[in-house]
Amino acid sequence: MCGITGIVNLDNNRINKKILLAMNQALKHRGPDDEGFWIENNIGLAQRRLSILDLSPLGHQPMFYDRKNLVIVFNGEIYNYIEIRDELLKLGYKFRSQTDTEVILAAYQEWGIECLKKFNGMWAFVLYDRRQNQIFAARDRMGVKPFYYFSDKNKFLFASEIKAILKHPEVKAKPNDKIVWDFLICGLVDHDEETFFSGVKELRPGH
C-alpha cells in the first residue's frame, strides 16, 4: 500500500511546497519506507512508498523517464510487468530499476494512453508528460486502488485518500448533503463519482 497526491494549479501559480508536503504527510501511514516530491512551476507530485519491488533507491518516486520528460507517482502493482518489460527491451528500451513503475513510464512512451490495455493488475497513477504538457491519470478496471480528486477553475488536486485533499487550505470539509442523506436513510453508497464531501470526487474504475 502506497499513497500518492498532487497539485496542478490551473491558474499557473507556483506550487506551495508546504501545502504539498502537508497533503503527503496525511498519507504517511500508507507508505512508511520512503517519501518523495517533485515540483515544477504549477505542478507538484508527491508519494509515500511501501517498498515491495526493487527495495533499492532506484524505486524512489516520483520517478522520471526519458531525460525527465516523463514523471509519475504510482500506487499499485502491475502483475504482468515482466512480460511487458521484455517486450519493451526487444523494442530497444533500457531500464535502470526492477520496478513496475519504470515499466509504466516506458510503456506510456511507446504506446501512449493505449498502454493501459497492456496492464494486468491494480493501479492508480498520475503521469506528467512534459513534452505534451499534459497530465494523464488512470485507475485500474476494478477500482482496487483508490483515487480521489478535487477540481475547480484554479486547481486540480488528487490523492489516495480524501483527507490528503482536505489538507489544502482552499478545500473545505463540507458535507455533500444528498450523499449523506441517501446513506443514512437508504444505506446507498454508490453515487458514481460523488463522495461524502462536497466537491471531492472519486475517479471511477477503468478511467
Q: Coil, helix or strand for 7?
A: strand
Dihedral Cα 156, 161, 162, 164, nearest 10 deg: -70
Pairwise CA distance, residues 72 & 36, whole Å: 11
Q: Which of 2, 88, 157, 164 is catalytic?
A: 2
Q: Is 186 a catalytic residue?
A: no
Answer whether 117's CB lies under 8 Å from 125's CB: no
Answer whether 89's CB lies under 8 Å from 41's CB: no
Q: Show Cβ contacts of residue 94 under 8 Å, excluding neighbours closer than 6 positions.
A: none
Looking at residue 115, what DSSP letter applies? G
What sign does the CA torsion over 14, 16, 21, 22 have? Answer: negative
Cell 504549477 belongs to which residue?
Answer: 42
Read off the amino acid at residue 40: E
Pairwise CA distance, residues 8 & 135, whole Å: 9
Answer whether 22's CB lies under 8 Å from 167's CB: yes
Greatest Cα pair distance, the chain, in angstroms, is: 58
Active site residues: 2
